[in-house]
Chains A and B, each alone.
Chain A
Amino acid sequence: MMFDKFKPMADFQAELAERNVEPFGAVTEKILSATEGVVQGRNVILAGTNNYLGLSFDPRCIKAAQDATARWGTGTTGSRLANGSFAEHQALETEIAQFYGVDNAIVFSTGYTATMGMCATLAGPGDVILLDADSHASIYTGVKMSGAEVIRFKHSDPEDLAKRLRRLGDRANQTLIIAEGIYSMIGDVAPLQEIAAVKREYGGYLFVDEAHSMGVMGASGRGAAQAAGVEADVDFFCGTFSKSLGAIGGFCVSRHAELAAIRFCINSYIFTASSSPSVIASTREALRITAAEPELQAKLWDNCNRLYQGLKAIGLPLGPTPSPVVAVAMEDRSRTIDCWKALMEAGVYVNLVIPPASPSSNFLLRNSVSAAHTSAQIDTIIAAYADLKAAGLINGTRSH
């Protein structure tokens, strides 16, 4: 039967309902600020929103969105290739290209369609894609659609990447290497210096998804490649407007002029409606703020370090280094659900992650940090976890 394969998921949802816990798609009834809301009837600190710079409530971004709606209307009602390219979209493309110091940019309606579309289109039959094993679902979906030969390399392992490029021989030149800046589930940073060195040795094209690192790393917020000093080795950068920039949308930028032609070959760009003018306008303002106010990034990292060190001090198993994503690894599904529920009752909303969304057999309590969090809020989050530890719900024996 066609529906049989969904039965395990239906059973899991029924189990959650029986336990009176709803971690997936928890409804936010009211947003009080960038870091506080009312979720499932509780006032909570939002510690699972990817709102890294806290710009979703910046009054300048809100004003830009309001003005754009008044001027351009609520939606474009069409594709970028038909009636959906407004001057706002074109201006954002110019600005995001300038932000990255390149000449070519494409703006997409979501980050998912940006990475999926680029991964589905850049390499094709006869080409090879070498992707990090822990790549985001949008990348896996895209490469599957590409028609290229798809090979994984071990997560953040430049030696394994080199080994696989060596095995390809002359085909290494026809290979698209895919890595991310910060990995979304554990928050670990890719070893981009080493990966770029491997690319220089063997050839190929390097694609870096900076979804969780744009606005977060690099002297001007361009991401992990900028922080590693290897931007010149990166052929394509993808990213999103739905995290640091507080809106929704995605982009690809490149020094390759061929991006102009590639634009017309990406189904996820062609056959979907373009972003609403309000979204584009707030994104433009957020991008300007990101470039002009590096103190936001500094504040974010203060908070990252405070949360990471605080959770580490109580003995929780975390990722390798402080990061805007701080994930607590758990072994047991049922206990992880209990912890998620207890955190909510303590006034802290985090993300519950279960395999295969987590990169191992671990379950995760995934926290994301914002520049807008106060020190007191970070301390409240730490205290909530300390209570879980004291209650014996987290044993802290297993690492990522």
Chain B
Amino acid sequence: MIDYPEYLNFLCSALESQNKNKLVLSENTSLVADMGLSSLEVMEFIEKIEDHFDISIPLNILPDVNTIGDLATKVRQLNL
């Protein structure tokens, strides 16, 4: 079973291509406020995660996702 740090590492690595502000990405980095991702970019990233883990991420979880850490927690729950 994959644990939280591995999800976090994967998400941070996968987000590098969208890291236009050249931030040091961590669990506390906000996808929108810090990284400046548009809603379209967030959804493109969600699709990338879905394909990688072969899961579907419901839109319902997105209001609770602010940081990369929030997303790692949700993806881990969905992939249990």
Residues of A within 8 A of B (CB): 133, 143-144, 149-152, 154, 163-164, 167-168, 355-356, 360-361
Residue count of chain B within 8 Å CB distance of chain A: 12
Contact with A along B12-42 (1 / 0, CB 8 A): 0000000000000000000000000011100
| Interface pair A152/B43, CB less than 8 Å apart | yes
B13 to chain A, nearest CB (A): 23
Q: Which of A151, A164, A355, A360 has the most CB of B within 10 A?
A: A151
Q: A154-B47, A167-B54 are in contact. Are A360 and B40 (CB under 8 A)?
A: yes
Any A CB within 8 A of the CB of B55: yes
| Interface pair B58/A167, CB less than 8 Å apart | no
| Interface pair B56/A151, CB less than 8 Å apart | yes
Q: Can you give 17 contacting A-B residue pairs, CB < 8 Å?
A: A133-B43, A144-B59, A149-B58, A150-B58, A150-B60, A151-B57, A151-B59, A154-B47, A164-B56, A167-B54, A167-B56, A168-B56, A355-B38, A355-B40, A356-B38, A356-B40, A361-B40
Q: A133-B43, A152-B43, A167-B54 are in contact. Are A361 and B38 (CB under 8 A)?
A: yes
- Interface of A, secondary structure class, is mixed
CA distance A163 to B40 in the complex (A): 22
B11 to chain A, nearest CB (A): 19
Identify which of residues 37-74 in chain B touch chain A, using a CB-to-CB cut-off of 8 Å: 38-40, 43, 47, 54-60
CA distance A355 to B60 in the complex (A): 22
| Interface pair A356/B59, CB less than 8 Å apart | no
CA distance A305 to B16 in the complex (A): 43
CA distance A355 to B38 in the complex (A): 10
Q: Inside 8 A of B43's CB, which chain A residues have their CB? A: 133, 152
